[in-house]
Structure 1
Amino acid sequence: MSDTAKKIGFIGIGLMGHGMAKNILQGGYPLTVMGHRNRAPVDDLVGRGASEAATPADVARASDIVFLCVTGSVQVEAIVRGADGLKAGAHEGLIIVDCSTSQPTSTQALAAELGELGVRFVDAPLSRTPKEAEAGTLDTMIGADKATLAEILPVVGCWAGNIIHVGDVGAGHTMKLINNFVALGYGALYSEALALGQKAGIAPEKFHEVIGAGRLTNGFYETFMKYVVGGDRDAHKFSIANAHKDMRYLADLASATGGINLISSMVRNYYAGAEAAGRGGDYVPMLSDYVRELNGIGRDD
């Protein structure tokens, strides 16, 4: 079987998944996607040649490799173990690739459970934004054995520009949580620094002139500040609710390993507070609004 004769399934064609699935189609692979309440991405992909399935079990039956791109472990476990889940439609040789940000302990448990059926489970979480998903230049960090990695690499290469094999199953999700801790820690740090500066009379624009021109800038900072000083609400489309979820997963990882996590606990509480205040649907740069309000100041103060 040539590589492009492999049949690919995709579940979770949202902000990131649509671009990934589109690029798999453009790579020449037969693609089956699962229907979604948001019909626009489904209809677009079907219009490009994809087939549509009603359940995860149907996707599994139609596929050699299935990609998942959903919120986290709760959703992944339901997709795998549900009455019409991937497990119900699984066949020997199937590979399931979880591109969600999930808990490593859940990932390893699913890998062991599915392994009894001759199904391999791989973690390949993502980094970067929907813009890179559409362009096919996402970053991914993979947890898999070398043989399975070799099988999935040509398909992963359709949507990723930077592919790093971190280690065995679970290592990708572990690294992703650490990656997101660093990024979300930046978000909390920038928000607090901006608020403190504003209380002391330093406008966000002046803050940006100094920090943005020096060694402390980075890609995350640039998209964060596109909202703060540019008002671009879509510059960094990652929700505060997802950020809080990832920080909870990191806390679980620290507990499982016996790690000390003083800073991450403080970062988590910023996102927890923002979600509790009804801002869960806002994007991460908007945490700066919440922290400013905690300090009793408005955007124009």
Structure 2
Amino acid sequence: MKVAFIGLGVMGFPMAGHLQNAGYKTTVYNRSEAKAIAWQNEFSGNIAATPKDAALECDVVFCCVGNDDDVRSVVYGDSGILAGLKQGAILVDHTTASAELAKELDKACQDKGFGFIDAPVSGGQAGAENGVLTVMCGGSESHFAKVAPVMDAYARFTQLMGDAGAGQLAKMVNQICIAGVVQGLAEGFNFAEKVGLDPDKLVETISKGAAGSWQMENRYKTMFAGEYEFGFAVDWMRKDLGIAFEQAQQHNIELPMTRMVDGYYQEVQSMGGNRWDTSSLIARFKK
């Protein structure tokens, strides 16, 4: 099977590598050619000059870029993905974007005889590098059935959530939940530090109970140490939450806790933490 991957950021670079290592003939495109060359040097796949060239003769084309506009810039136009896809091929968008964009792309693909799956991921850079991402998908069952085995190259779990856009809606829920969990950890760990509890003993104990979470077990050491130069950036989190806020407004859904935490992330940005991991919420207590 021939596949392509468009966008070699901290997520796309290792995801495309897993595809190549799994035996799929993989072609990549990235706006920065230097990044594509670095990928080729590491994984020995092919490089294309445009998204169209990458998509030529592919059975599946994966995309993971920044936002709605970035997706449109690599999908449409004479040099875009749709200009290179063959009949029956499937476009899979791993970008965390709006549900409206997913529906738009689904229609654009249907009109041209292509398939489409919106497939945002959870698991962060570490999940991408280790090939253990969780993928939330929207689209038809037939298209999902074709691409799910391919995504297994970098995913530990994939789920079809519903029609086009449902994957993006599920990712919004994911980010809303993470925001609340991380704020709770920031307050709890700050409390623990101020009253003199041993961090390791504390987490070893409470992680076994109802308070346990992935964020707790994987971020507590760095949160107590004040280390944030890694992981899922605050800028990205605020972008994702902004998408959720827009969707919530359309449906008159209240997100009071999430808006509060988003404001705290804005404070972290003002501290110079734009690229810090989302666990940096605790930095507000260390000023």
SS of residue matched to 1:116: helix
What is the aligned partner in structure 2 of residue 210 from structure 1? 202
How many residues are paired up?
Answer: 284
What is the aligned partner in structure 1 of residue 6 from structure 2? 11
2:22 to 22, 27, 33: 27
- Residue 210 of structure 1 deviates from its aligned partner by 3.0
1:142 aligns with 2:142: no
1:158 to 143, 153, 156: 153
- Residue 135 of structure 1 deviates from its aligned partner by 2.6
Amino acid at match of 1:153: A
Q: Which runs of 5+ in 1 are unaligned?
A: 1-5
- Residue 197 of structure 1 deviates from its aligned partner by 5.6
2:65 to 55, 60, 70: 70
1:237 to 224, 231, 239: 231
SS of residue matched to 2:156: strand
1:228 aligns with 2:220: no
The verdict on how the C-alpha distance between 1:162 and 1:104 changes in structure 2, with shifts beyond 3 A counting, is same
Tell me the TM-score normalized by structure 2: 0.89
1:288 to 276, 282, 285: 282
Query: Using the alignment, how far apart are the partners of 2:43 and 2:254 within structure 1?
Result: 49
1:118 to 113, 136, 141: 113
The verdict on how the C-alpha distance between 1:91 and 1:49 changes in structure 2, with shifts beyond 3 A counting, is same
Q: Is the 8 A contact 1:35 1:42 kept in 2?
A: no
Query: Using the alignment, how far apart are the partners of 2:99 and 2:154 within structure 1?
Result: 23
Amino acid at match of 1:163: T
The verdict on how the C-alpha distance between 1:195 and 1:72 changes in structure 2, with shifts beyond 3 A counting, is same
SS of residue matched to 2:58: coil
Q: Equivalent pairs: percent with the same residue?
A: 26
The verdict on how the C-alpha distance between 1:133 and 1:42 changes in structure 2, with shifts beyond 3 A counting, is farther
Q: Is the 8 A contact 1:10 1:31 kept in 2?
A: yes
What is the aligned partner in structure 2 of residue 131 from structure 1? 126
Amino acid at match of 1:202: V
Query: Using the alignment, how far apart are the partners of 2:247 and 2:67 within structure 1?
Result: 14
Amino acid at match of 1:25: Q
Amino acid at match of 1:213: T
The verdict on how the C-alpha distance between 1:38 and 1:217 changes in structure 2, with shifts beyond 3 A counting, is farther
Query: Using the alignment, how far apart are the partners of 1:38 and 1:225 within structure 2?
Result: 37
SS of residue matched to 1:282: coil
SS of residue matched to 2:157: strand
Q: Which runs of 5+ in 2 are unaligned?
A: none
CA deviation string 1:2-45 (max 9, x = no partner): xxxx2100012222222211111122111100145373564343
Query: Using the alignment, how far apart are the partners of 1:193 and 1:134 within structure 2?
Result: 30
Query: Using the alignment, how far apart are the partners of 2:233 and 2:36 within structure 1?
Result: 20
SS of residue matched to 2:112: coil
Query: Using the alignment, how far apart are the partners of 2:4 and 2:270 within structure 1?
Result: 36
Tell me the TM-score normalized by structure 1: 0.85
